[in-house]
A = this chain, B = another copy of it.
């Protein structure tokens, strides 16, 4: 259930982060009414293009809870997640998402969220980053190994 205090926290993180040299984005992850972890956009500060607020919060929450699954957790983000972060939310099995600004708001201040959503919607051959398949007959051997592997941890 939405709790205003958590969104207010995500938003204040997003504002404080600007003063600390980062981008205007913050997120918190909540489990059973308590904040487990938070994150800010530290892309340029940390030389890490994946260090968005949501991805950072997910990494920290998983580390803290010693798990790769955040089932029954909710994420509060100051902005609608970009496709990288939204996909990370899926991979982390987070149950619910609350956000403040939209991807259109982010586009207006120069962030590529909307552009990347559009690119993902295009067929591969029309995207701006060219992609080619090579050596599929070699690559598939890894998946054949995986099928046969014992004691593997699936997720």
Contact surface of A with B, Cβ cutoff 8 Å: 2, 4, 7-8, 11, 14-15, 18, 21, 23-26, 43-44, 46-50, 55, 58-59, 62-63, 66-70, 78-80, 82-84, 86-102, 105-106, 108-110, 112, 115-117, 119-121, 129-136, 138-143, 145-147, 149, 152-155
| CB–CB B62/A135 < 8 A | no
Q: Let me know if B7 and A134 touch, CB within 8 A.
A: yes
On whether A62 and B47 interact (CB within 8 A), knowing A95-B129, A139-B100, the answer reads yes
| 11 further A-B pairs in the complex, CB-CB below 8 A; given A50-B59, A109-B147 | A8-B138, A21-B153, A24-B145, A44-B153, A47-B63, A49-B155, A50-B55, A89-B129, A97-B130, A105-B140, A117-B120
Per the bound structure, the CA–CA distance linking A23 and B109 in Å amounts to: 38
Q: Which residues of B contact A88 (CB under 8 A)?
A: 49-50, 84
Minimum Cβ distance to chain B for residue A53 (Å): 11
